[in-house]
Chain A
Amino acid sequence: MSATTIPWTSRLLRRYSLDRLTWVDVILGLLRIGVILAVFVGAFNTIASGKYTLTQWGSLVSTGIAQGSIYALIALGYTLVYGILRMINFAHGEVFMSGAYSTAFFAIWTSRQGWLEKNPYLTILTWILVAAAVSTFVALIVERVAYRPLRGQSRLVTLISAIGASFFLQYTARSLFGSGFTSYPNIPILNARIEFGPFSIPQIQAAVLVIALILMGLLYWLVERTKMGRAVRAVSEDMEVARLMGVDIERVIMLTFALGGALAGAAGVVNGLYKPQGVNFFMGFFPGIKAFTAAVLGGIGSVPGALLGGLLLGVFESVGPNLVLNGLGIPAANQLKDALAYMMLVFILIFRPQGIMGEKIEEEKA
């Protein structure tokens, strides 16, 4: 009847949880080892071959950081909404697109009016404001039409509606603005390069990072220091308790959508500064998925996590093909940049769905 009646072997086995180890665990374990091995072998081969110089690595990293800060700005939208509603706002990529696409026309117009030449910084600021306004509007409409009627339903139901919203917005933009591509005006003042040591960084990349950091700082201040932010945090902590404390939940939800939308709109302009070409109705979908990856990577629900996840994903996407795939002897590795990002998404979801900053989700009680 006491503990001594248990055979020691079963105690030992239990300590290592072999009873719970299934064939899937074994396969996933092998997969994990395989991935780590592939990364190491690829990286070793590439570095050993000395194919790239330090300067080249530096520029890959800085490109990654610039791209990553755009991901981070979009990722914040996923994270904010997830923190409150525990749902994936699948249409968020399209919120980003709405701001970016519509503001491209505004930007072209300001450039034609000569504003851009006269007062570039102020003009860019107006772009950001316009894009943020459009994206906020779209985000709020999506919330009102596609999500609010489904409040309290399962995550999957909302996801279907979100996929619907995503396609609706994409093809609305296509119908409104046409199916072609447009581009942001070129900004001469940002074409210079910053030099330090062996590295040379395009000024635009630095600008992208700076704008992103400023916006994130602003958000951080809003969430951490204002009364409004306190309500948001309270709701994300425990919606029921917050409701009892008199927080207007619906207003907080709208606020998170609005904040996420504004940041996504701003990200649209930043993206337009960084990569002026390729503005069209489909420009939001895949960046949206990648930003979601970044949000999960950083720990979905966490604001600093989104920044960290975005930067990591950006750098990985930029360095990875050259570092890992090249070393594994895969031709034209840069074609697989996106595939690598999606693989990262899948691996994060398999092995660490709680992300870097997130806590492990509690065991579900039966």
Chain B
Amino acid sequence: MDRNKFFLKVAGIAALALVYVMFTGMVETFGGRDIIANVLNLGQILMYLPPFIVGYLVMRAEAPSSTLVRYLTSIGAGLIANTPAAIVALFMERVQMRDTFANASPNLVEFMTLGIQPLGVGILVFWLMGGLLATFGIAFSFLPQGARRAVITAFASIVGLALMSNLFGQILRRFFGGRPDRLLFSADALRISTSLIVFVFAAVLTQYQPLLRKQFGRHLTSLLPSGILESGHVTNGLGLIVLLALPWVLGVFLSEVLANVGLFMLMALGLNIAVGLAGLFDLGYVTNFAVGAYLVGVLTSTGPQGIGQFNFWLIVPISIVAAMFTGFMLALPVVRMRGDYLAIATLGFGEIIRLLALSDWFAPLIGGAQGVLFIPKPAILGFSFQTPQQIYYIILAACVVVLFVSRRLDISRTGRQWRAIREDEPVANAMGIDVTWVKTLAFTLSAASGGLSGAIFASKLGTIFPHSFQLLISVNVLCIIIIGGMASIPGIAIGSLLLVGVPELLREFSEYRYLFYGLLLILMTIYRPNGMIPVKAQQHSRGFGPEEGSDAGKTVPLPAPATTVT
């Protein structure tokens, strides 16, 4: 690219990004979260990163010009990146921006200028900082590639660790009693000493990672009987033990988070049948969730809306069947539609159901806006699942069952038919696949675990309102699948943790949750259309034929499939 154009483009984007994070309040909100105690907070990182990256990128761009010119343009780009923000900050107090932009506060200016007074000097410092950071970026570009990677990884580890301080702190406290976390963390941020250790450790680990992996791998495989790792039983077994032990390790609060992650994962596993396996974009998945929740709500509640006060376990199968029936009925009208129309139509269904639940028409039955109250916790033979830890096990069991079923379907003829219609519907039809039926089936089966998830949700929460069944639930579940990786079970697990678990641990940033979801959706479709953990096409091929497992070692290494989302 033309160097001048590149230089302006990069600086312009950075400037825009900087003004964006200022006005959306990110700088200030994130500034409240220290990463390294009293040294660095997240807001500063956000503010200092753009000019730094600009300096680095411009320096690295191919250029015929002399070194001095390259230095100067890089520094200039850093200054340009900071210019609009500086101008805005200068005028922020003269023009009453606050009436419009909720975050254009004096605090923001103070944060930007590091509290330096008078204002003019402070802003000048901020502006010059752009050049300084760009210089750092230039310096960074001189590091060898390995070192750059090590620094980035080490830095990311520090940020990650600091953001998850809550998680680690609680686990440490549970294990050792007292406040061992205070050794590492100081009020949610890493201590300077800890961050130094983390930095060195992570950097070294990145440098020697290939070597370590080889050494470690050799020892591990020599310890174990040959072939046992490939079969997957060991990893599955270990994984299950870890999952069973988790509530005990995590404690009440984190188990609650985990239970929510599980509920969403349950839904994602179900929706994955329609979206991931069959390629049907269902934007109204919340419907099934609502059906399950309301059935359990109304039929087990001890409150005024309750009918029959049945046992939870009796209603669960009914709500699954009811959700499947709903899925089937809603599938009928839409299976003939084109992909994008189908998505919009299902979105319409989701809204219709919510509006009906909210309406006076159905209020006598399901409580309207008042919702259903007094839903008892699941109980069996005198044992009641009260705590989040206990309910976690119900959710875990449900996830395992759904996982098992969807895996079976995935490798069977049915899964193959779904993949075929996802790839090329007319050809699949001409191969002898009843497209209408196969699609309807995908919707119906996918609805089941939505119903199950809703049933557990109602019982876990004790009250349900139409408000709990917003479009955002469908979008959330869809994001898990797309960002994790369509049809990829590990992808869905990671997606649920990342999109449901992490936001619950970072409640202070909750107002930016869906902003980041949106951004992630765009970035993923452009740069990683197969999600974080893409599925390999080869693994379906064999189904549960007689040779399953036995020839797993035989498969030839293949070039990475260049698949795209369909």
Contact = CB atoms under 8 A, between A and B. Distances in A.
A163 interface: yes
A164 B519 contact: yes
Contacts, number: 175
Interface string A21-59: 010100110010000000000000000000000000000
Nearest to A175: B24
B511 A174 contact: yes
Interface string B17-57: 00010011110000000000000000000000000000000
B358 A289 contact: no
Contacts of B358: 335
A343 B353 CA distance: 11
B361 A28 contact: no
A13 B341 CA distance: 32
Interface string A148-178: 0110011111111101111111111011111
Interface in A314-358: 330-332, 335-336, 338-339, 342-343, 345-346, 349-350, 353
B515 A87 contact: no
Interface in B75-95: none
Nearest to B342: A349
Interface string B415-434: 00000000000110010000
B299 to A, nearest CB: 24
B522 A165 contact: yes
Nearest to B346: A346
A171 B347 contact: no
Contacts of B519: 164, 168
B521 A346 contact: no
- Best-surrounded residue of A145, A150, A163, A178 (most CB of chain B within 10 A): A163
Contacts of A331: 360-361
Interface string B519-532: 11110011001000
Interface of A is mostly: helix
A102 B97 CA distance: 12
A339 B360 CA distance: 13
Interface of B: 20, 23-26, 99-103, 279, 281, 283, 332-341, 343-345, 347-349, 351-352, 355-356, 358-361, 426-427, 430, 436, 440, 475, 478, 482, 511-515, 517-522, 525-526, 529, 564-566
A179 B512 CA distance: 12
A167 B335 CA distance: 27
A264 B382 CA distance: 60
A199 interface: no
Interface of A: 22, 24, 27-28, 31, 87-88, 102, 105, 108, 145-146, 149-150, 153-161, 163-172, 174-179, 286, 289, 292, 296, 330-332, 335-336, 338-339, 342-343, 345-346, 349-350, 353, 364, 366
Contacts of B103: 175-176
A27 B525 CA distance: 37
Nearest to B354: A339
20 contacts: A28-B333, A155-B338, A163-B475, A167-B515, A168-B518, A171-B515, A172-B515, A175-B25, A175-B26, A175-B512, A175-B515, A176-B24, A177-B102, A289-B344, A338-B351, A342-B349, A350-B337, A353-B341, A366-B426, A366-B427
Contacts of B23: 175-176
A157 B565 contact: yes
B518 A164 contact: yes
B333 A31 contact: yes
A342 B517 CA distance: 25
B275 to A, nearest CB: 10
Contacts of B511: 171, 174-175, 179
B414 to A, nearest CB: 19
Given A24-B436, A153-B564, A160 B525 contact: yes
Given A24-B336, A28-B333, A156-B566, A339 B522 contact: no
Q: Which 5 A-B pairs have the closest CB atoms?
A: A164-B521, A168-B518, A167-B518, A175-B24, A171-B515
A153 to B, nearest CB: 7
Contacts of B360: 331-332, 335
A349 B566 contact: no
A268 to B, nearest CB: 16
A164 B518 CA distance: 4
A159 B522 CA distance: 10
A112 to B, nearest CB: 10
A349 B335 CA distance: 11
Contact of B514 (A87, A157, A170, A292): A170
Contacts of A168: 515, 518-519, 522
B361 A330 contact: yes
Contact of B102 (A159, A176, A289, A366): A176
B335 A24 contact: yes
Nearest to A102: B100
Given A150-B525, A339-B351, A346-B349, A159 B359 contact: no
Given A336-B356, A346-B348, A87 B340 contact: yes
Contacts of A343: 348, 352
A172 B24 contact: yes
Nearest to B100: A105
Contact of A146 (B26, B332, B520, B522): B522
A155 B566 CA distance: 9
A270 B257 CA distance: 45
Given A176-B103, A366-B426, A349 B345 contact: yes
A165 B512 contact: no
Given A164-B522, A167-B475, 8 more contacts: A154-B339, A163-B478, A163-B518, A167-B521, A175-B26, A175-B511, A331-B360, A332-B359
Nearest to B425: A364
A257 to B, nearest CB: 16
B520 A156 contact: no
B332 A177 contact: no
B149 to A, nearest CB: 26
Contacts of A349: 334, 337, 341, 344-345
Contacts of B351: 286, 289, 338-339, 342
B272 to A, nearest CB: 15
Contacts of B361: 330-332, 335-336
A105 B101 CA distance: 10
Contacts of A171: 511-515, 518
A331 B363 CA distance: 10
